[in-house]
A and B are shown apart, each in its own frame.
Chain A
């Protein structure tokens, strides 16, 4: 293996040091990444590669770095974007037939900030259509595979971004999380994934699914790499009126390895034997013991409305989706049906031919819960229950600094196992959706294996307090080296 290939498998700090020390060029690192993307095409993690432009940008990065003017921790580093985060001149299919030929005329704010920081986008990752799904099976690009076991799902909806980082195609990538779409695939693929506080990262240029829940965040092979990436993409953006006008802390400086003095809340509703994989519970309990041994205190907390999170989420998310996806009408962009009889026929057929089944199901459900006579009973009710869920967390955080849970009640399921049963797919998001409903930051990180598959540990923070979950997560990595476990090379 060459030096650049070796380096690609390492973390951002090692890559930075080698680039700054002149041991390897950004061009060599980008080429190594493109070669690995091609070699791992069987995972279907990457849906479009960006070679020529990336190589040209690597040349420019090389000049900056040589003159000691590296712009950030990410200057000259190859990264991947989920296919719903737009980049000027590049496709953004959102894994949908309706956007098959779309080319973005502008950069998302997150993309723009990464590029200004010198990061080099080498391609776009597979996902569930319009971020609706938990398996990266609802996609026009072919189902994605888990690098740990290709017969299993890599999770979703940001499955490609998680699989790409797990398989070593890039050190970091971006995804989006509406109900768990970063944390669940991070858990399934044994990498770190962070959903920041709602509003922390601008949604400008993120193709909207559920606007009150959507949030962009990073994947990495360590907590430190996620923190460094978040520092680049976070911050107020006047183009997103829901973007939080708060300064961006230096999260990487907070990673001091200390957990002494931290109080970790353990929600009793999440630690039930029923419906949770035995191996998952065992690994999470070992993690709790490790935190306690390192000096953290644990306290039981209660989140009594947990059992209502999924129902609340699927009303609110589908209602918002039905409204957001109304923009796909075959007029301004996207697929248009051939030879429409009139404007109504153009709308009907463009949408019906362009959207996949899961997207149609959610548009129907969202339209139903917003329709005359049902609005108050479903949508109004769900918004009130959302308040109760938010209050549960506020009350729990009076007693602790962060909350620890499994990310998922199970490890990665087999491809096809749940595709005929939408409700069962939805129900497994029980630990992740309430975090979006409450707008809180959530981190998923590896905490060991169960039957050879990674188990995800979720750390939930107070609003705007990414610092505490990043610090605790980084400290956990130093205690137990689970994040160093890599999938078998054979996959």
Chain B
């Protein structure tokens, strides 16, 4: 499944990008060179957990899993697969 559009929407609803008209590319690091706001970080983790019914443990709580749309897509897929395998 492709969740990129949903992730893109969530980010658009929460972050103000410098160039309003430039869309975020799937490999753009939206944390890079900008202040990492703990509120946005918390919301992002919360969004992923609720929307996909997965738990993000300490081992995955790393900026590298959350900093681009593609990385998030990978994380969600990996967690969903692991969950599917467990059932």
Instruction: Say whether A and B bind each other.
Output: no
Q: Which residues does B use to contact A, with CB under 8 Å?
A: none
